[in-house]
Amino acid sequence: MTKFLKVEGNAGLVRDTDTLAILNTNSSEYEKYVAQRESLRLRQDEMNRQASEINNIKEDLSEIKQMLTALIKDRIKG
């Protein structure tokens, strides 16, 4: 039979004496953790999207620069 012992210093945690696992018994704290984790994931996704967009803009600017350089060289020669 599973027995739980309170974890010293944290009322929302218990230790399962069979598996020695520490379990969270505070569902509101767990829900808060899950919400924070999802918020972090969304922020990371947004940062990745923005970084990708910036890289695309850099590539576009590089192409424009190359085209302008080629156009100026053609005008100088022509």
Give the per-residue pLDDT at 1. Answer: 72
Give the per-residue pLDDT at 2. Answer: 79
| Three-state DSSP class for residue 22 | strand
Amino acid letter for position 50: Q
Q: pTM above 0.85?
A: no
Q: Exposed (0-12), middle (13-18) or buried (19+): which is 20, by Cβ within 10 Å?
A: exposed
pLDDT tens sequence for the chain (78 residues): 779 999 999 889 999 999 999 999 999 988 999 999 999 999 999 999 999 999 999 999 999 999 999 999 999 987
Tokens matching residue 78: 């022509």
**Residues 64 and 47: beta-carbon distance below 8 Å:** no
Ordered by start, the domain boundaries in the chain are: 4-77
